[in-house]
Structure 1
Amino acid sequence: MDLIADIILGLGAFGAAVYCLILSRRLKRFNNLRDGMGGAVAVLSAQVDDMTKTLDHAQSAAGESAAVLTELTERAEASARKLELMMASLHDLPDPAAQQPAAPPPDTQPQAGFASTRPADPAPNPDIPVFLRHGFMEAAE
């Protein structure tokens, strides 16, 4: 009986050795850097490293852009407050059209030696804001 048990134990050990040999060969082919999964894992690892660096760079650039945008927004709000104060102070000024007598119409004839193709400016309208009263210059052709 001991002899049969030893033979069965020897056959089991031999079977396990053959199984380990087959697994070893498959694992070598699997980890091959040229054709197997090892190459794919190496490439993916390199890509992950590159993407991590790119992400870090993008985050730092976004942080800088946010800081610049915040600064510009604060400057714009300060300028808007100043403009609102200026507009409010304009309401305190007396109306210039009501205080001055009517001016004679401007001379529409060009002065001697000057050729003007621009029509004479109409009288200022107090209902139009100051920054829109000014005429626009046209480019020479």
Structure 2
Amino acid sequence: MNVIADFLLAAGAFTTAVYCLVLARRLKRFTTLETGMGGAIAVLSAQVDDMTKALDQARKSAQSSSSGLEDQVRRAEAAAARLDLILASLHDLPQQPPPDEEMAEDRRLRFVRRRPDRSGMRAAE
């Protein structure tokens, strides 16, 4: 009975040793930087750094654009206030009578077409 127990214990130890060897090889392949998961993690880490830098640049650009837009909005509001004041002052002007239709017809532009003077030209001989 002891022999069978020793044999089973030795078989279990051998199986455990083989299992540990297989796991060690898999772990070594998993963590290699060139081909395994370590390489993928390194690439992803570099991409995260690049994206962080791009995000910071975009944030700075958005802040400068926002301040520029705020300045333009302030200027537009000031111009609108001036236009409102000008329109209000135009309401105070007296009304002008509409122009007569005859005067409107006289004011129409007329185009006259003239033929070129051909007296200076000679006929082909």
**Would you call these one fold, judging by a TM-score over 0.5?**
yes
Greater relative contact order (CA < 8 Å, ≥ 6 in sequence): 1
Say how many residue pairs are matched: 98
Once residues 5 and 85 of structure 1 are traced to their aligned partners in structure 2, the CA distance between those partners, rounded to angstroms, is 107
Give yes or no for the alignment of 1:80 onto 2:80. Answer: yes
Residue type at the aligned position of 2:77: E
Larger helix fraction of residues? 2
- The aligned counterpart of 1:36 is 36
- Aligned to 2:93, the other structure's residue is in SS state coil
**Correspondence for 2:111:** none
- Shift >4 Å, 4+ stretches: none
Shift of 1:21: 0.6
Q: Where in structure 1 are there 5+ consecutive unaligned residues?
A: 99-121, 123-141
What is the percentage of aligned positions where both structures have the same residue?
Answer: 59
CA–CA distance in structure 1, aligned partners of residues 91 and 81 of structure 2: 16
> Aligned equivalents of 1:67 and 1:12: distance in 2?
73
Q: Deviation per CA, 1:80-136: give whole Å up to 9, x if none.
A: 1111111211221346x77xxxxxxxxxxxxxxxxxxxxxxx7xxxxxxxxxxxxxx
Aligned twin of 2:50: 50
2: distance between equivalents of 1:3 and 1:63? 81
